[in-house]
Structure 1
Amino acid sequence: MAKYIAQLIIAGSQVIGRAFARAVKQEIEASQQAAQRLGNAKTRTERIANQKLGLSLEEAKQILNIRNLTKEEIEEKYQSLFKANEKTSLYLQSKIVRAKERLDHEILSGPQTEKTQSSESPKT
């Protein structure tokens, strides 16, 4: 009987050890991806905004499905998405709010990234 209990304890600790190792590995990968995502910013102010608000400019544009940074388009998309998810998902609503905050921050700080992108495009 003691032999079976010892085998059970050993097997259980192996399972727990593998699960813990897998969880640590996933956490390391997630933190590396987050660091890479935040590190892809082109300017120092963009990196600071990404860290402060938790979203990159591209992520915020994807969430609200915005191509141009205009106050009207941001507000229109924000209102429609926020109302569409009003009764279904608080998580999606919070992502929509964070995306709007990030885009509003970008508008207030100026269209620096659009200027650098347009000046980098080759002229023919």
Structure 2
Amino acid sequence: MSSPKVIVQIAIAGARILGKAFVAAGRQAIQNAKYRPPGAGGTDIAGVGNATSASLTDRLTREHKMTADEARLILNVKKDDPIERIVQNYEHLFKANSPPEKPPKPAPGKAAIPTHSHYLQSKVVRAKERLEAELKAGLEGENAASSAEAPSSSTTSSSSSSSSTTPPPSS
């Protein structure tokens, strides 16, 4: 066999191997693109898709498109922090992401770098709204529970007081 013929055969064999490898890699890429791991929905925002029950927390999560935990992370507050702390952190983050009243002049030949973020500012506002809605709903739930208990006790006291104040029937 001549050396040019061997070189051509080696090149053809190498091209076949390389072609098969590219085809296999393409098939694997297609399979990977189609695969969705459980719990990793592409359009699910902050676990909103998992909020399917009729509970108050799930309803608030669907309305605000944000979980309470995400809102606390954004505002850097803990679960038991008072509303004053939430408002304080909100005001700080809102101001920090607000556009300056006088934009700084960029250096000659350089583009101005924005020092504010409308996106972050809106996330801060949504986080505050979510936590306020949860606190309000919690207070409404407590008021509803206390008002549900109050009429039953007032009904018994009013019925006992009304029976003592009414004169006995005369025969």
Q: Same fold (TM over 0.5)?
A: yes
Matched, 1:78 2:106: no
State the 1:31 CA deviation. 2.8
Instruction: Give structure 1 regions of 4+ aligned residues with deviation exceeding 4 angstroms.
Output: 19-26, 40-43
Residue 95 of structure 1 aligns with which residue?
123
Structure-2 separation of matches of 1:35 and 1:84: 25
| Amino acid in the other structure paired with 1:88 | H
State the 1:81 CA deviation. 0.4
Structure that is richer in helix per residue: 1
* Residues 1-124 of structure 1: pairs in structure 2 closer than 5 A: 31=41, 34=44, 37-38=47-48, 39=50, 44-67=55-78, 68-70=81-83, 72-86=84-98, 87-110=115-138
Structure 2: unaligned runs, 5 residues or longer: 1-28, 99-114, 142-171
TM-score between the two structures when normalised by the length of structure 2:
0.45
TM-score between the two structures when normalised by the length of structure 1:
0.59
Relative contact order (C-alpha < 8 Å, sep 6+): which is higher? 1
| Amino acid in the other structure paired with 1:85 | N
Q: Is the 8 A contact 1:53 1:98 kept in 2?
A: yes
Structure number, greater radius of gyration: 2
What do you get for the CA RMSD once the two structures are aligned?
A: 3.8
Structure-1 separation of matches of 2:30 and 2:119: 27
State the 1:34 CA deviation. 2.5
